Amino acid sequence: MTTGRRGAPGSVVDMTTTPESEPATTDREVELDETATIARDLIRFDTSNYGGGRSNGEADAAEYVAEALRALDLEPLVFESEPGRVSVLARVEGADRSKPGLVVHGHLDVVPADPANWSVDPFAGVVRDGMLWGRGAVDMKNMDAMMLSSLGDILRAGERPARDLVVGFLADEEAGGVLGSHFLVTEHPEVFEGATEAISEVGGYSTFIDGRRSYLLQTGEKALIWIKLRTRGTAGHGSQMIVANAVTRLAEAVAVLGRQQWPIALTDTTTALLSEVARILDVDLEQTSPDELVLHTGTAAGFIRGSLRTTTNPTMLTAGYKHNVVPDTAEALVDIRCMPGQEEAVLAEVRALIGDDVEIETMHTDIGLETPFSGPLVEAITGTLERHDPGAPVLPYLLSGGTDNKALSLLGIAGYGFAPLRLDEGMDFPAMFHGVDERVPLDALSFGSRVLRDLLATY
Ligand SMILES: [Zn+2]
């Protein structure tokens, strides 16, 4: 296996990470296992995706992954949707070919990182304090590495996955997957032929509920609606009495949506989650409010709170060009996340809240998803976790954001968020998605690889 710009997968002694400031414990010569080595190598490819068509691209990381797949005697398919924007997929023949296929996918791009805010170089793949640091350590080069190492472990042992797999390393997820998952689903749907289910990111990690380690399996995603508000008024000198001021009117609408307390809107997923939390806490579900229950879900509380109701967050403002000129228009962008299927109703409510004189332009939408927290795959996942972390409950949850599973759902593929990681209580893992000092414990990576290996070999 060659090509990785700075090394290829395999167990190596890591001597390359020497942070400027001396850490509490130095891991200069930590023996990295295969999963950590691959994750570190992938972090070292700066695949920053800035959005709006600007990106470093995934080509180098994709070539590294393709080489790793070839080394397992697989035949990777490489798709370049635009120059430098590369996705890699491979089919793996399963032991029972009569079973429908499973897509196991991750994305190769990452959100940008400003090194000034980080304790380490975000693209150096630093190992310190028993953890791998860097952009993508959490979202989601960790899972990319777990996918490769678990699959490698199965195939090198002369075994097969239990069913056909489509293993995908996709481009452009951080900008909505237009040049990755959506490109593949639209232009090359045949690569997913025969697959009915998928597993990927933002689920499978552990949180502590009342001191008890529990795993969150992501079984749904909220819908998103990105709107632009526009107000119009009278332009004029900044010293005049101007009643129809576009900026004032826009500010009123923005404040209304930003402060709106949307009511709790439970789905099957969040209903099941809350009843399970109540059971663990041993409290009466009828007597305890959802928000109160969520307070006990540890570091996942932020993610979960956002899944219980619609949110309408203003994110950008544009108006005016000089301090003493009242402009005739003003614009704001608002990020709306609502329950699957509630898009029309929420837009009507937004319209009623801000009034008819504010123009609303829909800039981008994406569907919501909800898959059942039952059935053979869910049973296989919970059974596998039970073998590797006995007694730890597995709970469903609804993601307030989105993943490439939205695109795959257009082909009828039911997607779950399952990138298994066993984490200690002090670790605020959810906060590190797109955050600074992204890092993942080395032992969590090897745990994840073992769980994934077990799942793929048996499901
Ligand atoms: Zn991600």
Quick one: pLDDT at residue 28?
57
CA distance 229 to 162: 51
The answer to whether 35 and 117 are in contact (CB under 8 A) is: no
Distance from Cα 433 to the centre of ligand 1, integer Å:
8
In sequence order, what are the beta bridge partners of 229? 332, 360
pTM: 0.88
Q: Does residue 16 have a pLDDT over 50?
A: no
CA distance 290 to 277: 10
Give residue 357's pLDDT band: very low, low, confident or very high (50, 70, 90).
very high
Distance from Cα 50 to the centre of ligand 1, integer Å:
14
Give residue 29's pLDDT band: very low, low, confident or very high (50, 70, 90).
low
Which of the two residues, 216 and 429, has the higher pLDDT score? 216
The answer to whether 353 and 239 are in contact (CB under 8 A) is: no
Once rounded to an integer, what is the mean pLDDT over residues 263-292?
94
Once rounded to an integer, what is the mean pLDDT over residues 240-259?
95
State the span(s) of the chain assigned CATH 3.30.70.360: 223-260+310-365
Distance from Cα 112 to the centre of ligand 1, integer Å:
12
Distance from Cα 237 to the centre of ligand 1, integer Å:
48
Distance from Cα 359 to the centre of ligand 1, integer Å:
33
Distance from Cα 173 to the centre of ligand 1, integer Å:
7
Once rounded to an integer, what is the mean pLDDT over residues 370-399?
96
Quick one: pLDDT at residue 318?
97
Distance from Cα 136 to the centre of ligand 1, integer Å:
8
pLDDT, the chain, mean: 92
Quick one: pLDDT at residue 445?
97
Once rounded to an integer, what is the mean pLDDT over residues 338-347?
95
The pLDDT tens digits for 367-383 are 999 999 999 999 999 99
The pLDDT tens digits for 403-449 are 999 999 999 999 999 999 999 988 888 888 889 999 999 999 999 99
Distance from Cα 201 to the centre of ligand 1, integer Å:
6
Distance from Cα 324 to the centre of ligand 1, integer Å:
44
The pLDDT tens digits for 137-161 are 999 999 999 999 999 999 999 999 9
AA letter at 268? D
Identify residues whose C-beta is under 5 A from ligand 1, the ion.
139-140, 201
In sequence order, what are the beta bridge partners of 316? 333
Q: Please determine, looking at this structure, whether the domain spanning 223-260+310-365 carries the CATH number 3.30.70.360.
A: yes
Distance from Cα 98 to the centre of ligand 1, integer Å:
31
Quick one: pLDDT at residue 147?
98
Distance from Cα 431 to the centre of ligand 1, integer Å:
13
The pLDDT tens digits for 162-213 are 999 999 999 999 998 999 999 999 999 999 999 999 999 999 999 999 889 9
Distance from Cα 140 to the centre of ligand 1, integer Å:
5
The pair of three-digit structure tokens given for residue 430, joined into one six-digit string = 């959810």
The answer to whether 379 and 199 are in contact (CB under 8 A) is: no
Distance from Cα 174 to the centre of ligand 1, integer Å:
7
The answer to whether 408 and 238 are in contact (CB under 8 A) is: no
The pLDDT tens digits for 121-140 are 999 999 999 999 999 999 99
Distance from Cα 122 to the centre of ligand 1, integer Å:
16
Q: Does residue 12 have a pLDDT over 60?
A: no
Quick one: pLDDT at residue 17?
45
Q: Please determine, looking at this structure, whether the domain spanning 34-202+403-458 carries the CATH number 3.40.630.10.
A: yes
State the span(s) of the chain assigned CATH 3.40.630.10: 34-202+403-458
Query: Which residues fall within 8 angstroms of residue 19, CB to CB, at 6 or more apart?
Result: 119, 120, 126, 128
Once rounded to an integer, what is the mean pLDDT over residues 67-90?
98
